[in-house]
Amino acid sequence: MNYKDYSLEDFSEMLASKNPTPGGGSAAAVGGALAASLLLMVVRVTARSPELESLEDILEAKKLKCLELIEEDADCFNRVMEAHRLPRSSEKKRRQRRREIEAALKKASNSPLEMLDLTSEIAELAVEIVEKGNPNAVADAAAAGLAAHAAAETAFYNIMTNLESIEDEKFVEKAGSRAYRLREETASLKEEVIKKTEDKISILGRDWQL
C-alpha cells in the first residue's frame, strides 16, 4: 500500500513516528499535491473561463506527479540507509559501500529536485489563477501559492542536505545551481501571489489599529 493511499490521519501518524520515512520530502510532496488540488478547485468554480479551464489537465498531471513523489522520496531515503548498512570489513567492501552510498544520494537528490521543479510550476500557475479566478476563491488560490512555496523550500533543503555528502563535484554544482535558481524563482512567484491577492482583498488596505 502506497503512502498516498492512506488516510490523512494514518499518514500523519506515520510522519509523527520514530521511523525515518515518510519524512519531510514526502510531506513536501503532499503539500505540492494539495496546492495543485486547491488550484483545480478554483479553476472549476470560475464560471465561463476557457483560459482557466485549459489548465485543468496540467494541474491534474502535476497533482498526480506530486502524489507519486510521496512514495519515491521515501524509497530514495531508504536506499541511502540500506547503502550505509553495507559491510566495511575490507578495503574493497568499503569502496563498494561508498559507491553505493554516492549513487543512492544522487538518486535521493533528484527526487526533491523534481519536486522543486513541480512546485515552481504550481506557484507560477497560482499567480495566474489568483488574478483570473473566481474572486470569492482568491484566498484558496493564494493558499495554493503559499503551500507550493513551502513545499519548494522543504525540497530545497533536502537537496542541499544530500549534496553535502556527495563527492562528485560536477553533480553537486549542477544540481545545486539548479536548486538555487528554482528556489529563487518560486520565492519571487510567492511574492507575486501575495501582491495580487492583497490587491483583490480591499480590506487589507484598511488602516488597522494595532
- What domains are defined for the chain? 3-199 (1.20.120.680)
Model pLDDT, residue 210: 84
Beta carbons within 10 angstroms of residue 26's beta carbon? 26
| The pLDDT of residue 108 | 95
Nearest Cα residue to 83 out of 105, 108, 100, 95 = 100
Lowest mean pLDDT among 27-36, 137-146, 160-169, 200-209: 200-209
The three grid cell numbers given for residue 12, joined into one nine-digit string: 500523519
Cβ atoms of 94 and 113 within 8 Å: the answer is: no
Structure-block grid coordinates of residue 131: 488574478
In the chain the first and final C-alpha atoms are separated, in Å, by 50
- pLDDT of 186 reads 98
Residue 116 pLDDT class (50, 70, 90 cuts): very high
Contact 29, 63 (CB under 8 A): no
- Among 79, 71, 60, smallest CA distance to 27 is for 71
**CA atoms within a 13 Å half-sphere pointing along the CA-CB vector of 197:** 18
Query: Taking 90 as the threshold, does the pLDDT of residue 51 lie above it?
Result: no
175, burial (CB in 10 Å: exposed 0-12, middle 13-18, buried 19+): buried
**Residue-averaged pLDDT of the chain:** 95
pLDDT for residue 1 is more than 90: no
- Is-contact 193 142, C-beta < 8 A? yes
Q: Please, which residues have CB within 8 angstroms of residue 149's CB and are 6 or more apart in sequence?
A: 119, 123, 186, 187, 189, 190, 193
pTM of the model: 0.93
pLDDT, position 18: 95
